[in-house]
């Protein structure tokens, strides 16, 4: 049996099971609920019960004053629903609201997606995962090596298991270490998150994602988050690659397409793997979509591709607030 939770003042709602905390249920549903430690210590996930009944789920150390208790304040991370609820809680609207965090984690999995693409999964302590927004980056550091900033490829609904995509780059000591010497169980220091390539939470417009090479990592995080918020959202994904077999997670994209009614996946080979150039493809995609409907555009492309896209979108009258970009400096 699940309960319906309405969050004020946004009016967003989600379903919560009796076997999970209200914070877990809200994050699973794609809500950016304010939180930090998620273990009852910091008080960042405080909320006020407006109607309904809750029960303790776990011990917490944060202290509420007597007046706050009478007013109905509680911690989302430490309580579960026992009925339908209306709660007052803070939802994050921008990356600027996420504090910088330093987390020690462990490498939990190394998966070679292709010869030159590694999927790195790190596990944060259950007592304190990384709080981030879909599309953001984090700096990873091993031993005495210089940190490497990478986009998080996983959904914010899971702050414990974080995925990253890394392409082998000749002469890059970080990628050579990850591919040749990193082992499961190694410690990694995380610092972040950073970046504002994030979803417009207030918009219900159809989404167009255009990504190049390993720019798929932040885009996959954004799509997972968008789907959790609204499974019926109209989404078009265009993945551009000049590398033979460069669409290294096409099966993941096809799974989205197979289970969602309004999701379309387009894998496009650029020269030399294919016959088209990036500028031709970007122009063709944008001219079609700007004629069809009012969309939000998320572009993870090299600078030249972004410059062309912005010109085309501005010519079509698309306002800047409907365009979010991430510069891809290498594949």
d(CA 329, CA 170): 15
pTM across the whole model: 0.89
* Whole-number pLDDT of residue 255: 97
Pair 244, 231 in one domain: yes
Pair 100, 189 in one domain: yes
Crossing angle between the packed helical segments 216-229 and 250-259, to the nearest 10 degrees: 20
3 state SS of 312: helix
Q: Domain ends where: 27, 56, 91? A: 91
Is residue 199 one of the residues assigned to a domain?
A: no
Is residue 159 one of the residues assigned to a domain?
A: yes
The total number of structural domains in the chain stands at 3
3 state SS of 189: strand
Pair 103, 83 in one domain: no
Q: Which of 35-49, 270-284, 303-317 has the lowest mean pLDDT?
A: 35-49
For the stretch 71-104, pLDDT in tens is 999 999 999 999 999 999 999 878 888 889 999 9
Pair 218, 318 in one domain: yes
> Phi and psi of 116, rounded to 5°?
-115, 15
Structural domain that includes position 19: 3-91
Beta bridge partners of 237: 209, 265
d(CA 58, CA 42): 14
Q: Domain ends where: 51, 74, 91? A: 91
* Whole-number pLDDT of residue 37: 78
Q: Domain ends where: 194, 218, 252? A: 194
Is residue 200 one of the residues assigned to a domain?
A: no
CATH number at residue 166: 2.40.30.10
Is residue 239 one of the residues assigned to a domain?
A: yes
Question: Closest Cα to residue 284, out of 266, 271, 296, 302?
Answer: 266
């Amino acid at each position: 049996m699940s309960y319906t939770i309405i969050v004020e003042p946004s009016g967003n709602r989600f379903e919560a099971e009796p076997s999970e905390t209200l914070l877990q249920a809200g994050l699973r549903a794609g809500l950016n609920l304010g939180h930090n430690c998620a273990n009852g210590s910091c008080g960042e996930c405080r909320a006020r019960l407006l109607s309904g009944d809750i029960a303790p789920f776990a011990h917490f150390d944060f202290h509420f004053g007597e007046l706050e208790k009478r007013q109905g304040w509680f911690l989302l991370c430490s309580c579960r629903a026992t009925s339908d609820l209306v709660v007052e809680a803070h939802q994050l609207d921008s990356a600027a609201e996420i504090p910088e965090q330093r987390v020690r984690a462990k490498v939990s999995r190394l998966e070679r997606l292709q010869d030159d693409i590694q999927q790195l999964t790190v596990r944060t302590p259950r007592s304190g995962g990384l709080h981030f927004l879909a599309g953001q980056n984090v700096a990873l550091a091993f031993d005495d090596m210089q940190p490497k900033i990478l986009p998080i490829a996983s959904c914010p609904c899971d702050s414990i298991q974080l995925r990253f995509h890394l392409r082998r780059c000749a002469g890059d000591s970080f990628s050579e270490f990850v591919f040749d010497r990193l082992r499961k169980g190694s410690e990694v220091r995380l610092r972040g998150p950073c970046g504002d390539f994030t979803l417009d939470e207030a918009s219900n417009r159809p989404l167009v994602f255009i990504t190049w090479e390993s720019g798929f990592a932040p885009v996959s995080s954004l799509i997972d988050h968008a789907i959790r918020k609204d499974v019926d959202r109209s989404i078009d994904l265009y993945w551009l690659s000049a590398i033979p077999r460069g669409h290294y997670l096409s099966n993941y994209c096809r799974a989205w397409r197979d289970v969602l009614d309004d999701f379309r996946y387009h894998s496009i080979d650029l020269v030399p793997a294919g016959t088209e150039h990036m500028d031709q493809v970007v122009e063709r995609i944008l001219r079609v979509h700007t004629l069809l409907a009012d969309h939000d555009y998320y572009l993870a492309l090299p600078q030249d591709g972004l410059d062309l896209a912005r010109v085309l979108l501005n010519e079509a009258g698309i306002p800047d607030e409907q365009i979010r970009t991430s510069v891809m400096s290498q594949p």
